[in-house]
Amino acid sequence: MDYTLHQLIIFSEIANSKSITRTAEKLHLTQPAVSIQLKNFQDQFSIPLTEIVGRQLYVTDFGNEIAEAAKKILDEVEAINYKTHAFKGKLSGRIRISVASTGKYVMPYFLSEFMNLHGGVDLIMDVTNKTKVIRSLEKNEVDFALISVLPKKLKVNSVELMRNELFLVGGKQLSHDQLAEKEQLLTKFPLLYREEGSATRNAMANFIHKNGFQVRKKIELTSNEAVKQAVIAGLGLSIMPLIGIKNELKAKDLQIIPIDSLPISTMWQVTWLKSKKLTPVAQAFLDHLELEKQKITQNHFSWIESYNF
């Protein structure tokens, strides 16, 4: 047999995603290139690795065994790379971070300098909603989680990074007279919510309930970007994290509606299980955060202060 590491990587991802298209997207390859490599890999085995039923790709039982073996080989190759860096006196390893969806506007700034300093460190960052972030943390699938509200049922440690503030926002279509009504706007216009499990949705729902607002209509969207575009289009109002709407406020596509009891203020925190045995890389990252977080916040997020009404 004469298969290559490249073919093992491709087949491992195909077995994981069950899709040529998603494999091509993740590995930054064309679909024909992935298909060719799959065929070349398959030609080295007399037993089918995959099959097509309808238009769906399935991995055979034999294919799953080969995928499992491929993963072990790739893990060993990765370990060799890390050991090589360590032998040279360089920090090496991997950091896995699960990030609440709005945290994608925050976490890269706290990672960039650390990653640039340590070329032997690999990063896997999963961006999802709070429920899935907490689940990943609970199952010990990640080193760290970035969240704005700590889980009540888990014993965790955390490092506070910066404030997370949520404001009521509307599109530029709102007139001066409409804005003057403030609280009445919440009963006159539809409210755009994130999906179940989102920390932003929970904060918004708690605010509406606490203040006894009678919502005329609810619209649910499954990402912060979708909510933002819907508000810009005039579909309704929403309570949104300030961190995710900087450019839209600057362009005046969105506007903040000052209202009592807002903003809702929480803290972005890097969190990990108290029982977690941190790797040298994970500990080095925490040390970096403690030393640099104030400078990073000042350099990249000082603009937030201008929205304190």
pLDDT by residue (tens digit) across 206-234?
888 887 777 767 888 888 889 999 999 99
Strand partners, 219: 192
Q: How confident is the model at residue 252 (pLDDT cuts 50, 70, 90)?
A: very high
> How far lies 234's CA from each of 74, 173, 218, in Å?
49, 7, 14
Q: How confident is the model at residue 53 (pLDDT cuts 50, 70, 90)?
A: confident
> How far lies 158's CA from each of 84, 143, 233, 272, 274, in Å?
32, 12, 38, 6, 9
Distance CA 190, CA 185 (A): 9
For residue 86, the model assigns a pLDDT of 57
* The two structure tokens encoding residue 187: 């009963």
What's the whole-number mean pLDDT along residues 270-285? 91
For residue 162, the model assigns a pLDDT of 93
Rg, C-alpha atoms of the chain:
24
Contacts by 48-55, CB closer than 8 A, 24 or more apart: 49/11, 50/14
Within this chain, domains 91-162+267-307 and 163-265 share the same CATH topology: yes
Q: Half-sphere exposure (CA, 13 Å, Cβ side) for 239?
A: 26
What's the whole-number mean pLDDT along residues 171-195? 77
Q: Half-sphere exposure (CA, 13 Å, Cβ side) for 118?
A: 24
pLDDT at 139 over 60: yes
Tell me the CATH architecture of domain 91-162+267-307.
3-Layer(aba) Sandwich (3.40)
For residue 3, the model assigns a pLDDT of 84
- Is the separation of the CB atoms in 92 and 281 below 8 Å? yes
For residue 309, the model assigns a pLDDT of 57
Query: What is the H or E stretch that residue 65 is in?
Result: helix 61-87
For residue 34, the model assigns a pLDDT of 92
Q: What is the pLDDT of residues 61-96, one digit of tens each?
A: 999 999 999 888 887 777 776 666 655 656 778 899
Q: How confident is the model at residue 97 (pLDDT cuts 50, 70, 90)?
A: very high
Q: CATH says 5-86 is which class?
A: mainly alpha
> Pick the residue with more confidence: 264 or 85?
264
What's the whole-number mean pLDDT along residues 269-290? 91
Share of the chain above pLDDT 70, in %: 93
Distance CA 239, CA 294 (A): 27
* The two structure tokens encoding residue 248: 């839209």
Weakest-pLDDT range from 62-76, 98-112, 172-186, 247-261 = 172-186
What's the whole-number mean pLDDT along residues 138-149? 91
Q: Which amino acid is at 20?
A: I
- Is the separation of the CB atoms in 242 and 305 below 8 Å? no
For residue 182, the model assigns a pLDDT of 65
The end-to-end CA distance of the chain, in Å, is 68
- Cis before 108 (ω within 30): no
Weakest-pLDDT range from 143-152, 178-187, 188-197, 262-271 = 178-187
Q: What is the pLDDT of residues 27-43, one digit of tens each?
A: 888 999 999 999 999 99
CB neighbour list of residue 189: distance below 8 Å, 6 or more residues apart: 170, 216, 236, 237
For residue 259, the model assigns a pLDDT of 83
CB neighbour list of residue 307: distance below 8 Å, 6 or more residues apart: 165, 167, 242, 249, 256
Given 3-state DSSP classes, what are the helix, strand and coil percentages for the chain, each rounded to the nearest 5? 50, 25, 25
Distance CA 184, CA 55 (A): 52
pLDDT at 184 over 80: no
Tell me the CATH architecture of domain 163-265.
3-Layer(aba) Sandwich (3.40)
Distance CA 180, CA 50 (A): 63
For residue 180, the model assigns a pLDDT of 67
For residue 66, the model assigns a pLDDT of 92
Domain boundaries, the chain: 5-86, 91-162+267-307, 163-265
DSSP code at position 235: S
pLDDT at 290 over 90: yes
CB neighbour list of residue 212: distance below 8 Å, 6 or more residues apart: none
Strand partners, 100: 128
For residue 158, the model assigns a pLDDT of 94
**What pTM was estimated for this model as a whole?**
0.68
